[in-house]
Each structure stands twice: as structure tokens, then as C-alpha cells.
Amino acid sequence: MTTIDVPAPMAPAPSPAAPAAYRSRAVRTVPRWWRDASAAAFWLVLLWVTALWVAHGGIQDLGSVAGALTSTGRLTGLIASALLLVQVFLMARVPWFEQAWGQDELARTHRLVGFTSFNLLWAHIVLITLGYAAGTPTGIWGTLVDLVLHYPGMLLATAGAIALCMVVVTSVRRSRRRLRYESWHLIHLYGYLGAGLALPHQLWTGREFLASTASTVFWWTLYAVCATAVLGYRIGVPAWRSLRAPLRVDSVVDEGPGVTSVVVTGRGVEKLDVEPGQFLQWRFLDGPGWSRAHPYSLSAAPDGRSLRITAAEVGDGTARLATMAPGTRVLIEGPYGRLRPGVRTRRKVLLMGAGIGITPIRALLEGLEQDPGDVVVVHRAHSRDQFVFAAELFELAREKGARYVTVEGARVPGRDSWLPASAAHLSDAQALSQLVPDVAERDIFLCGAPKWMDAARNAALDCGVPSDHIHLELFEY
């Protein structure tokens, strides 16, 4: 296997835009009970929704075919509505919630909950239509037309269902790969519209919404919490922060083929409670398209005066970074992500980054509290010219007493692996244990392409690393 403890001559000169030395700050830890409490709240919501259905005659209505269809349709509609609101809350970026789960875990759960809610929504539509049709001579299509045209709020609910269909269809991985990120993001916003248009239908015709004070308070509270979270943390807090202490582009640096760094400064930097390895949602006010946010990780530990991000050109948003003019106004959301010192559970740490995924790893190397020998960095790239920040990593490793290793070469053909083809004779776990013999005693931080991280994570698990000692962040789902 090609492994090199990198000598200084192989790497390009350090970026002149690299921020000053990391200024240590207290590390935020995440109480484990936050996850347990939020998971319990989710199941309590679903149990309460089911209890409302039971309390208002759901089981008694199962005695006839029409009643069974209609009652089951009501239940699927109730659960679909609750899951839709849960789905909205998951992506509201509430700080304590995001810190407990991490954006990648929330996004995966958001996707699962979203598809479940959508399937239950269609079950609700079909069952209610069949149930009503069973008691009328108009037939299925006549009943469906009557429901849409003559029942209060149903036209709005139909428009909401169409909006949700657009979101779900474009969220299927095959469809999403065909769309530019900017287009997908714009369509995805219709999910909020769909949730909002469903509310009048529930208010005017939903038995479980109006049957008792308890049910009315429950549903209004659920809607209010989700709306407050979205308006507060997706719009209010970022807007207030940006207006209070504006940020601007200080410099733009070409780091190599297709890779650009942007350094941002301003009074707002000092007020940000951001840690090495985290990411923010960035909007650069440089022209059309500024309203679409892009997630970029910090590529240097924050020093209280500047923030540096680095990205490879993979689309319109990242391509614009290279042409950014100094002085451009910047809006941010965040910080987000669990790839930070606060999730660390062991003194010894292994940092593994592939491709442009090395950027948060470089920030973590700079920002982690460590003694000589505590940290090992494994830097994976396809070719020598793709070792972004090799010089900075080498210098940081030398200063902190860390070990810096590069793994170079094209991927192993025919298998999902984190290794190059030159190491195909080794299993992923064998190679990892040869590079880092005490890997089972370390926390592991991973960042890279999703398949590469899956392979590296599996190798670590095979080496005896417990899953809760492996930390990673995904930006693709």
C-alpha cells in the first residue's frame, strides 16, 4: 500500500490566506439524554395521535366496511399529518436538537419520515374515498370529485398534496441526481407550502382536530412549535445575526485544480460559537442565486477574527467561489454538525479525510486539544496533486506532535474500499490496523465521499472500534 509520512518538499506552499493560530475555547459537550428525550417525544406524539383516534370513536367505527375504511383513513391521515410536522421540525435546525443528532442523522431521519408520511397520505386519500363511496351511489370518481369540490378546505389540501408530490418525486435519488442542487433545493421548499395548505382542511373537517379541547390544543401546539422553529432558526436568527454583525469576503485563494478557499472576516466572527470541523450554510450576496444556501465546512480552526472555507468545484455554487470579489457581503446559518471536538470520547484520535473531505479534518487537527502522539491523520487522495493542504497538515502535525500519513492512488477496482488499487491484496481492516496499530483505542473522525466513509467506517468496526466512537458527517442522502 502506498503510504507516506509526508516530507515537506512534496507539498505545495501553505496558503497565504490561512488564518492565525487557533484560539482555544471551552468545548461544548452534548448530554446523551437530549437524544433520548427527543426520541421519546417523537413516539409520544404518535401515541397521542392514535389515542385521539381511539377516544373519538375510531375503534367503534370499524364495525362496517364503510366505517372501517373511513376510520382507518382518518388514522392514516392523522399520523401522516403528525409525521409531516415532525419532518419539518427535523430540518428546522434547532441548535440543541441538531447538536444531539447531527445534520446527517437528522437528514436521513427526515428522508425516512418524509417517505412514510407521503405513503400514509396516499393511504388516507384512497381509504377515505373508498369509505365515502361505499355509502353513496355516485361511485369512487364521483365521490372523489364531491370531496374535493364541496368539502371545506379540500381544494387547498389537494394543492398541498400536489406540492408534496413534487417534493417526494424529486427526492428519489435517481431523480435528484438529474437535478442541479439549486433546482432541487427550490422545489424542496414546496414541502412547507404543502404542510401549510393541509391545515385548513384539518381545521374545518377533521374530527380529531375539533372533537375536544385537548385535541385542538394538541394540534395547534404542534403546528405552532414547527412554525416557530422554522421561522426562528431558519430565518429569524440568521437574519438577526447577519444584520447585527455583518460578514464580508476578505480574500479568495486558488488552492489547486478546481479547489478554492474563501476567507471571511467581520465583527460577527467573534460572536459565533463555532468549533473546528463544523459547517455553516453560506449565502454570498454576489448576484442572482444568492438566496440558495450551500453547506461548507471550515477548513481552519476559528481564531475569532476570520473563518476559512474550502470547496472543490462540483456545481454552480462552488464554481462561483473562485470568482468571488473581496468585500462581498455574506449571510450564514449555523454552525452545524457533530464533527467537532465536543463529541470526542477518548484522548487518542484518528482523523481520516479523502479528497475535499480533508478540509474539516485539517480544522480538527488544528483545534483538538492534544499531546504528542495523541492524533494520527490519514489523508487519502487519487493523485499527488490532489493532496489539498498537504503543507499545512504537515506543518500542523509537526507542531503538535501528530502523525500525518498519506494514502495515494486510484481506488481498488471491483469492491467498495477506502484503499488504493496498490493495496488490493489487503482487506480494509488489515490496512487500517497496519497504519494505526492502536486504532481500537481511538475515536475516529471521518469525512469524504459517502461510499468511502462507509468503507472506512466498516474497516474501523472490523478493527474493534465501537460505533459510538466513530464520528462522521454526510452531505448526500
Q: What is the pLDDT of residues 263-302, one digit of tens each?
A: 999 888 887 888 899 898 888 988 877 777 888 999 999 9
- Segment among 32-36, 377-381, 392-396, 403-407 with least mean pLDDT: 32-36
Q: Is the pLDDT of residue 218 over 50?
A: yes
Q: What is the pLDDT of residues 68-126, one digit of tens each?
A: 998 998 899 889 889 988 988 988 888 878 777 877 778 788 888 888 988 998 898 88
Q: What is the DSSP string of 273-284?
A: ---TT-EEEEEE
According to CATH, the topology of domain 246-336 is Elongation Factor Tu (Ef-tu); domain 3 (2.40.30)
For 3-13+340-472, CATH gives 3.40.50.80
Whole-number Å distance between alpha carbons of 45 and 228: 18
pLDDT: which is higher, 24 or 228: 228
Q: Which residues pair with 150 in a beta bridge?
A: none
Task: Provide the 3-class DSSP secondary structure of residue 192.
Answer: helix
Task: Give the per-residue pLDDT at 10.
Answer: 37
Instruction: Say which amino acid occupies 142.
Output: G
pLDDT at 206: 63
pLDDT at 403: 95
Q: Tell me which residue of 187, 144, 129, 185 sits closest to 163, measured CA to CA.
A: 187
Distance CA 73, CA 78 (A): 9
Task: Tell me the pLDDT band of 203, cut-offs 50, 70 and 90.
Answer: low
Mind giving me the DSSP string for 365-430? Answer: HHHS---TTSEEEEEEESSGGG-TTHHHHHHHHHHHT-EEEEEESPBPTTS--SSBGGGTTS-HHH
At which residue does the C-alpha cell 401546539 appear?
Answer: 221
pLDDT higher than threshold 70 for residue 339 = yes
pLDDT band at 161 (very low <50, low <70, confident <90, very high): confident
pLDDT of 217 higher than 90: no
Task: Write out the three cell numbers for 334.
Answer: 449555523
**71 and 100 in contact (C-beta within 8 Å)?**
no
Give 364-384 pLDDT, tens digit per residue: 999 999 999 999 999 999 888
pLDDT at 168 over 50: yes
pLDDT at 1 over 50: no
Domains in the chain: boundaries: 3-13+340-472, 32-239, 246-336
Which DSSP state fits 64? S
Q: Which helix (H) or strand (E) holds 102?
A: none
CATH dotted code for 32-239 = 1.20.120
